A and B are shown apart, each in its own frame.
Chain A
């Protein structure tokens, strides 16, 4: 089937079998390999992408279901080539990653959280990444990174006093 996908602000036309997951389509057809294939059945969260700004598992969606949504992958979060987003910077700074396998998904899950909740509590952060498994960090630095990024974004986005 021929379908159109809107990924990171660009429209792509791809020819796929219906059984191809959105994850495999992103990785194999569009060469966006930031979405990682972990368990491929919805348990590990490594394949997280944003669908209209909301975190979803791209392994639990067939790509033929994904047309008409604005899809964001980790490649779409950087402000410009070679730069990092505030969240990505915070992950580096607090050592919020080790092997890096879960990292793009963690950052996208955190991005979706902060888009709707600029001042999350620790519990809200933990809840937001509860569907994403990390086997290295023990999560503490990831939580720290998200809190740090939230604090910076709150400062950066404060509206001017009237």
Chain B
């Protein structure tokens, strides 16, 4: 349970960080290290160099950016969870963050680290896909942005170039009467989820769903947004039967993962129930709230 030897660098700038990554194929970024450090302890990862960006200036922030909230990649999950802008304007992310690991891992683990790590069970990734967040990165001298839906490619695999540094993620803010819900199923609280679902709805003056965002995670290799269910339910005041039917249709082609702890059939069944419950609960939650 000791990591293999590696070199350690702590760059002061993004340029320097990118140069260090470009110079060595075996170099890896570390910020909070809450996943990388155990992988290294078990020698499942053996980077030749760690490039530490945990305290790189300008990477830890939460701020309003037009009609989005931008969160710096090195912002700790704990800081994001406590931030007034997240609590006030990103209620779905605020609801999901307490499910991420434990208090002691959220104190070091970062928002960007969780996204770049792309664990299928990761809550922040699920919220990013559900809300259509955009991820910004720096690769050498160039900056680019990816939609969350294009960012996650497979379990622990993203479209982020190996030499790039994820710098920020922007979550859209809905200017509406918003309700949210986040549910997950795991063996114990804070263990890796077998299935998870997130929903955000905006209710019109008549109480109908003016806008919906629904996503599921943990059951599949990366989070999925249930676009067909969103379309089917928008403009309606859906019954339970309608919600269940829309979810079942949206997930008809899903390929659930399977392991010792949860079979594919179990995950399919649970993720459908959680998604339907998330939609129902988000609509119920919508009555009380106005995000602006």
Chain A complexes with chain B: yes
**In the complex, what residues of B have CB within 8 A of residue A18's CB?**
5-8, 50
B82's nearest neighbour on chain A, judged by CB, is A116
Q: Which of B38, B54, B55 contacts A60 (CB 8 A)?
A: B38
Q: Which of B1, B78, B190 contacts A131 (CB 8 A)?
A: B190
**In the complex, what residues of A have CB within 8 A of residue B1's CB?**
39-41
Interface residues on A, range: 20 to 34
Q: Which of A40, A60, A62 contacts B50 (CB 8 A)?
A: A62
B37's nearest neighbour on chain A, judged by CB, is A60
Interface residues on B, range: 20 to 34
**In the complex, what residues of A have CB within 8 A of residue B190's CB?**
130-131
**Within residues 117 to 162 of chain A, which ones have a CB less than 8 A from any CB in chain B?**
127-128, 130-131
Could you tell me if B5 and A131 are in contact, using CB atoms closer than 8 angstroms? no
B109's nearest neighbour on chain A, judged by CB, is A60
**In the complex, what residues of B have CB within 8 A of residue A8's CB?**
none
Residue B281 at the A interface, CB < 8 A? Answer: no
**In the complex, what residues of A have CB within 8 A of residue B41's CB?**
21, 40-41, 59
Known: A18-B6, A59-B41. A127 touches B103 (CB 8 A): yes
Could you tell me if B8 and A131 are in contact, using CB atoms closer than 8 angstroms? no
- Residues 10-39 of A, flagged 1 when their CB comes within 8 A of B and 0 if not, give 000000011101001000000000000001
Identify 15 new A-B residue pairs, CB closer than 8 A, beyond the known A62-B3, A109-B104: A17-B5, A18-B5, A18-B50, A40-B1, A42-B37, A42-B38, A43-B38, A54-B78, A56-B104, A56-B107, A56-B108, A61-B33, A62-B33, A65-B54, A128-B103
